[in-house]
Structure 1
Amino acid sequence: MKRLIASDLHGSLPYCRQLLDLYRQEGAEQLVLLGDLAYSGSYDPRYGYDPQGVIQLLNPLAQEILWVEGNCDYGVQALGAAFPMTSHYAVQDWEGRQVFLTHGHRYAPDNPPPRGTAQVLLSGHTHVPAWQWVEDLFCANPGSVSLPRRGSPQSCLVYEDGCFTWLTLEGEPYHWEALPPPPAP
Structure 2
Amino acid sequence: MRIAVLSDVHANLEALESVLSSLAGYDSLFFLGDLVGYGAEPNEVVDRVHALNPDVVICGNHDYAVVTGDTSDFSVHAALAVEWTRRRLSPRNLDYLASLPCSARLEHNGLRLAAYHGSPRDPINEYVFPGTSEHISRSMIELAEADVLLLGHTHVPMQAETSSGCLFNPGSVGQPRDGDPRASYAILSIEEEKVDFKVARVSYDVDSAASKILQGDLPEFLADRLHLGY
Following the alignment from structure 1 to structure 2, what is the Cα–Cα distance between the partners of residues 5 and 132? 16
- Quote the offset at 1:150 in angstroms: 2.6
Which amino acid is 2:184 matched to?
Answer: S
Distance 1:79 1:146 in 2: 19
Offset of residue 163 of structure 1: 1.8
Return 11-20 or 152-161, whichever deviates more.
152-161
Structure 1 residue 86 displacement after superposition: 4.2
Which residue does the alignment assign to 1:70?
A: 60
| Partner AA of 1:146 in structure 2 | G
- Identical-residue share of aligned pairs (%): 27
Contact 2:141 2:164 in 1 (8 A): no
Partner of 1:145: helix, strand, or coil?
coil
Q: How far did residue 91 of structure 1 move?
A: 1.5
Cα shift at 1:115: 4.1
Instruction: Report the TM-score when normalising by structure 2.
Output: 0.61
Which residue, 43, 51, 54 being the options, matches 2:45? Answer: 54
Q: What's the offset of the Cα at 1:151? A: 1.2
8 Å contact from structure 1 (residues 55, 81) kept in 2: no
Size of the alignment, in residue pairs?
160
Runs of at least 5 residues in structure 1 that lack an aligned partner in the other structure: 43-48, 171-185
Unaligned runs of 5+ in 2: 68-88, 204-230
Residue identity in the other structure for 2:152: G
Helix, strand or coil: the match of 2:63? coil
**Counterpart residue number, 2:5:** 5
Question: Could you tell me whether the CA contact under 8 Å between 2:141 and 2:166 is conserved in 1?
Answer: no
Match of 1:35 among 33, 36, 49: 33
The answer to which structure has the higher helix fraction is 2
Question: Mean alpha-carbon deviation: is it higher for 89-98 or for 141-150?
Answer: 89-98
| TM-superposition CA deviations, 1:114-146 (whole Å, max 9, x none) | 447111110011000011124422111000011
C-alpha distance in 1 between matches for 2:148 and 2:20: 24
Counterpart for residue 226 of structure 2: none
Amino acid at match of 1:99: L
**Code of the aligned partner of 1:140:** F
Q: Distance in 2 between matches of 1:120 and 1:70?
A: 19
Change (3 A) 1:116 1:16: closer
When residues 28 and 58 of structure 1 are mapped into structure 2, their CA distance, relative to the original with a 3 A threshold, is same
Aligned counterpart for 2:164 among listed residues 130, 136, 143: 136
TM-score, length-scaled by structure 1: 0.74
Taking the aligned partners of 2:103 and 2:187, their CA distance within structure 1 comes to 19
Change (3 A) 1:52 1:115: closer
Q: Secondary structure at the match of 2:115?
A: strand
Higher strand proportion (structure 1 or 2): 1
Distance in 2, Cα, partners of 1:34 & 1:101: 7
Verify: 1:126 aligned to 2:124, yes or no: no
Contact 1:124/1:141 (<8 A) preserved: yes
The aligned counterpart of 1:88 is 102
Between the aligned partners of 1:84 and 1:60, the Cα distance in structure 2 is 17
**Structure 2 equivalent of residue 168 of structure 1:** 201
Distance 1:51 1:116 in 2: 30
